[in-house]
């Protein structure tokens, strides 16, 4: 039980949003650590939002302010994740 609590304290999550019609790139919608991260993940699952794990990218994106566009340094990794998600949802051939 103590190991689980310790793991949860280290858990991090971010949520991105991207409106292709008006945004130049994805933006940070939510971020959190520990219990907040678990809530972000729980809400995403409840709403059928696809989840992709990438610890290095989460570290970079966690440094952003909410509603900030992702930086150029994270664009390639983010684009690959979005491609994966869109393909899985059938929005990309």
Per-domain residue ranges of the chain: 2-88
Tell me the whole-structure pTM to 2 decimals.
0.75
CATH of domain 2-88: 3.40.1690.10
Query: Which pLDDT value is given to residue 87?
Result: 80
* Cβ atoms < 10 Å from Cβ of 18: 19
Tell me the per-residue pLDDT of 14-64, one tens digit each, with 9 for 90 and over: 999 888 899 988 899 999 999 999 999 999 999 998 888 888 889 989 999
Asked whether the beta carbons of 38 and 8 are under 8 A apart, the reply is yes
* CA 43 to centroid of chain Cα atoms: 12
């Amino acid at each position: 039980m103590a190991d689980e609590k310790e793991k949860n304290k280290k858990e991090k999550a971010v949520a991105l949003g991207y409106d292709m019609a008006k945004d130049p790139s994805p933006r940070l919608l939510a971020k959190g650590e520990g219990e907040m991260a678990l809530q972000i993940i729980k809400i995403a699952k409840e709403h059928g939002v696809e989840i992709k794990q990438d610890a290095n990218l989460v570290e970079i994106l966690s440094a952003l302010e909410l509603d900030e566009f992702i930086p150029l340094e994270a664009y390639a990794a983010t684009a690959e994740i979005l491609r994966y998600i869109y393909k899985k949802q059938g929005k990309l051939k």
